[in-house]
């Protein structure tokens, strides 16, 4: 039956995995996602998971096992972070190119160098063009809910594309919250029986997986792969609605907070959105008409819906927990500014990189952004397009 449990983010991913009970779980432990793998291993030892649990020699090997198991017709998941995801890089593109509905829990962590074990979005943002769907979580409950929905999204016959579920390292992965854990049978019913498109173990069909592809058909095959992620928005929306009807917590592409009459807005993903909401409440008390938009889905990027939600604003600040060296702005900023480009009337859009390597972002930092947005609203002038928050600079 459904119950309230005190769980950290890693435990919520493991709990959801236990309920889904994939055919194969292949993962190599790495901070701060180690406890996901440890908890799953304990579930397996206790007989609470019937699927195969494989702990290979590296993250590259873990994704290789996932690809092999999914190609053999299995429902498959993994978990990793940071350098572990980077070590999977080669195999991420293969998993997506083969349209394998693998689900991966990612405890988002900074990439080296310097070595850092704390949370930012460098790892998954580095893999943003690998062909995977990206979901991001504000808290432990969202991590649990997103992970369950990810299987429905990935396995849909119109999608057949792997999914990342991100949760901020340490901030979410190691923070304990009271989580609504749904009934095991209801979760299994919501997920449904897995029906693979093909299986290498099916001797009645002659298929080739991972063939060599030259100039004659490579382009067409990549276009076919893109079709899956382009079909995903309708599926993500439908699954989010069904999740709400079943469990009482509906999901969309993003959450709008106090946006109804807002004239300025802050856009921020994941755990920082909770702090941002507190700042918005304080700024509202000070008379500023400001709101917050929290993206949940980064790939496929819901550019039309995002633009419709933001086009009425006078000024918008996009906060990124990842940098994009050499680019004009960080990843989320470039997507949002591009989405607004064709609108005759559109807000001034500025960008701040924050929280790299787990650096704190506090209410006062959001209030600084709010004050700058208010100045832009009044003057119509942008003094600094791209900047940093809570950074020591001379």
Same domain, 200 and 273: no
Helices 331-340 and 303-310 meet at what angle, rounded to 10?
70
Q: How confident is the model at residue 393 (pLDDT cuts 50, 70, 90)?
A: confident
331 in a structural domain: yes
What local confidence, expressed as pLDDT, does residue 118 receive? 98
Same domain, 89 and 211: yes
Same domain, 276 and 199: no
Same domain, 324 and 345: yes
Helices 9-20 and 140-155 meet at what angle, rounded to 10?
40
Same domain, 215 and 268: no
3-state secondary structure at position 275: helix
Same domain, 214 and 297: no
Convert the pLDDT of each residue in 278-335 to its tens digit.
999 999 999 999 999 999 999 999 999 999 999 999 999 999 999 999 999 999 999 9
Quote the tokens at residue 291. Answer: 């709101």
Mean pLDDT computed over 143-153: 98
Convert the pLDDT of each residue in 64-100 to its tens digit.
999 999 999 999 999 999 999 999 999 999 999 999 9
- The DSSP element (H or E) to which 388 belongs, if any, is strand 386-388
What local confidence, expressed as pLDDT, does residue 394 receive? 53
Same domain, 243 and 267: no
C-alpha span between 126 and 298 (Å, rounded): 13
- 134 Cβ neighbours under 8 A, 6+ residues apart: 124, 128, 163, 164, 166, 297, 298, 299
C-alpha distances in Å from residue 107, one per residue of 84, 279, 325: 11, 25, 23
- Could you say which of 231, 247, 263 is where a domain stops? 247
Could you give the angle at the alpha carbon of 129 between the alpha carbons of 127 and 135, nearest 5°? 65
Note whether 303 and 335 are within 8 A (CB).
Answer: yes
- 165 Cβ neighbours under 8 A, 6+ residues apart: 13, 103, 104, 105, 106, 135, 137, 143, 146, 147, 150
What local confidence, expressed as pLDDT, does residue 210 receive? 85
Residue 64: how many CB atoms within 10 A of its CB? 18
110 in a structural domain: yes
Return the percentage of the chain with pLDDT > 70, whole number.
100
- Could you say which of 247, 273, 300 is where a domain stops? 247
Note whether 262 and 290 are within 8 A (CB).
Answer: yes
Q: What is the DSSP string of 212-274?
A: ---TTTHHHHHHHHHHHHHHHHHHHHHHHHHHHHHHS----SEEEES-TT-SEEEE--TTHHH
Mean pLDDT of the chain: 97
Q: Distance between terminal CA atoms of the chain?
A: 57
- 178 Cβ neighbours under 8 A, 6+ residues apart: 4, 5, 6
Burial class (CB in 10 A: 0-12, 13-18, 19+), 230: middle
Same domain, 242 and 308: no
- β-bridge pairing 3-8 and 176-181: antiparallel
Convert the pLDDT of each residue in 189-234 to its tens digit.
999 999 999 999 988 988 888 889 999 999 999 999 999 999 999 9
What local confidence, expressed as pLDDT, does residue 374 receive? 98
CATH number, domain at 183? 3.40.50.970
> For residue 235, is pLDDT > 80?
yes
What local confidence, expressed as pLDDT, does residue 208 receive? 86
Quote the tokens at residue 101. Answer: 């509905």
Residue with tokens 């923070």: 175
Mean pLDDT computed over 356-381: 98
Same domain, 230 and 319: no
Quote the tokens at residue 274. Answer: 């909770």
203 in a structural domain: yes
| Greatest C-alpha distance within the chain | 70
Domain count, the chain: 2
394 in a structural domain: no
- Could you say which of 225, 247, 269 is where a domain stops? 247
Mean pLDDT computed over 135-151: 98
CATH number, domain at 372? 3.40.50.920
393 in a structural domain: no
Residue environment code for 27-61, b if the CB has 16+ CB neighbours within 10 A, otherwise e: bbbbbbbbbbbebbbebbeeeebebebbeeeebbb
Convert the pLDDT of each residue in 248-260 to its tens digit.
999 999 999 999 9
C-alpha distances in Å from residue 314, one per residue of 85, 346, 366, 376, 386: 38, 7, 17, 8, 17
Same domain, 63 and 33: yes
Lowest mean pLDDT among 10-14, 94-98, 333-337, 390-394: 390-394
150 in a structural domain: yes
Same domain, 345 and 362: yes
Same domain, 133 and 263: no
190 in a structural domain: yes
Domain that holds residue 110: 3-247
Q: Where are the alpha helices (DSSP H) in the chain?
A: 9-20, 34-45, 59-71, 82-87, 89-97, 122-126, 140-155, 184-191, 218-247, 272-285, 303-310, 331-340, 363-379
> For residue 57, is pLDDT > 60?
yes
């Amino acid at each position: 039956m459904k119950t309230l449990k005190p769980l950290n983010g890693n435990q919520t991913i493991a709990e959801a995995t236990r309920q889904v009970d994939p055919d194969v779980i292949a993962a190599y432990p790495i901070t701060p996602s180690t406890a996901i793998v440890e908890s799953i291993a304990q579930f397996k030892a206790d007989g609470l998971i019937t699927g195969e649990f494989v702990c290979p020699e590296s993250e590259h090997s873990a994704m290789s096992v996932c690809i092999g198991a999914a190609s053999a017709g299995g429902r498959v998941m993994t978990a990793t972070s940071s350098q572990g995801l980077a070590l999977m890089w080669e195999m991420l593109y293969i998993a997506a190119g083969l349209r394998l509905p693998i689900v991966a829990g990612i405890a988002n962590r900074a990439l080296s160098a310097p070595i850092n074990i704390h949370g930012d979005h460098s790892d998954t943002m580095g893999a943003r063009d690998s062909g995977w769907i990206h979901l991001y979580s504000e808290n432990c409950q969202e991590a649990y809910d997103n992970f369950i929905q990810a299987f429905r999204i990935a396995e849909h016959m119109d999608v057949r594309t792997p999914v990342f579920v991100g949760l901020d390292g340490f901030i979410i992965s190691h923070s304990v919250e009271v989580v609504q854990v749904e009934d095991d049978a209801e979760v299994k019913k919501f997920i449904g029986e897995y029906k693979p498109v093909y299986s290498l173990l099916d001797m009645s069909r002659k298929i080739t997986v991972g063939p060599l592809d030259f100039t004659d058909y490579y382009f067409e095959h990549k276009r076919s792969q893109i079709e899956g992620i382009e079909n995903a928005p309708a599926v993500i929306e439908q699954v989010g609605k069904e999740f709400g009807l079943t469990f009482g917590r509906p999901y969309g592409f993003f959450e709008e907070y106090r946006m109804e009459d807002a004239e300025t807005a802050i856009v921020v993903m994941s755990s920082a959105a909770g702090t941002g909401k507190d700042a918005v409440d304080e700024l509202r008390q000070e008379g500023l008409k400001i709101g917050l938009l929290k993206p949940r889905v980064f790939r496929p990027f819901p550019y039309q819906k995002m633009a419709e939600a933001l086009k009425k604003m006078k000024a918008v600040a996009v906060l990124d927990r990842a940098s994009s060296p050499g680019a004009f702005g960080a990843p989320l900023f470039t997507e949002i500014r591009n989405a607004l480009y064709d609108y005759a009337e559109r807000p001034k859009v500025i960008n701040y990189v924050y929280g790299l390597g787990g650096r704190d972002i506090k209410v006062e930092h959001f209030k600084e952004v709010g004050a700058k947005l208010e100045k832009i609203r009044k003057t119509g002038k942008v003094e600094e397009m791209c900047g940093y928050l809570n950074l020591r600079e001379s």
